[in-house]
Amino acid sequence: MNILVTGGAGFIGSNVTKLLLDEGHSVTVVDNLSKGHKENIDQRATFVQADLLDQPKLEEILPETDAVIHMASLIEVGESVKKPVEFSENNIIGTVKLLEAMKNTGVKKIIFSSSACVYGTPSKLPITEDDPLGEQENPYGITKVTMEEFCILYHSLFNFDVIILRYFNPYGPGELHQPETHAIPNFIKAVLSKNPIPLFWKGEQIRDFIYIDDLAYAHILPLNLSGLHIYNVGTELGVKVINLVNTIFKLVGYETPINHKGEREGDVSSLVASSEKIKKELGWKAEINLEEGLRKTIDFYRSRLSST
């Protein structure tokens, strides 16, 4: 298939692109490089530097495309509070322009990169796809809910095939966000530099951490689906953040101080996926356990430190 990947220069997008190519698909990556890194893009892919707000450019690129995997969005929660207009324009308007460009060029299949944040504070665990979407506490979450709704609307109005993947907590080698707001890379980089680990809520939060290779594979399996499908993508295993920190200490062979930063507004106490639906319908399941994934991630950041 000919696949267009938006945001393909980012952490998840570049991994999905590589896997698509390994599986024999042709891939075009569209990225404005505001957050992504060109060196992340597999050289077998065709790269177009473009912005989703440029609908005419999208309409030049899209013909002959069989499916779009849409991962281009701004993701920093704290930044979204400071810049709600920028997040709304980039994430929501960019998505609508992409959907319009797809409609105008006859491309009617989209796999959308969503987030477990759409559930807000969950009423029960594990979270299932038919649980209600929760009240959002930041503009980023609102953009994800709205992006989902627009994808679903284009399914209803224009018969798009829409697959929504709600990620839980991805991690792994290659995560190079600036600024980095995700726990695992920040923890590992602090430990390897022998600096204090920044920790909120004394590490009592529970999260479902999914390794990047497992997450990437979840984008390949739905390519032949038609209709509307929503899937959680998680390991179904809740891990206390403090236990994650202790596992990192064990793997590197020493401990560093912990900088307890108190409570943080907007954090939910527990997020754990039910992935029963994607297992049953697509045969997907997480294969990489947390310790193995952390070991590979530590090796990646260690190699970067040693080369600088």
Instruction: For residue 203, give both structure tokens.
Output: 């590490």
Exposure string of 55-66, with b = 16+ CB inside 10 Å and e = fewer, is: bebbbebbeebe
**CB-CB contact of 235 with 210 (8 Å):** yes
CA 148 to the chain's CA centroid:
14
Exposure string of 236-266, with b = 16+ CB inside 10 Å and e = fewer, is: bbbbebbebbebbeeebeeebebeeeeeeee
d(CA 174, CA 269): 27
Which sequence positions are flagged as catalytic? 140
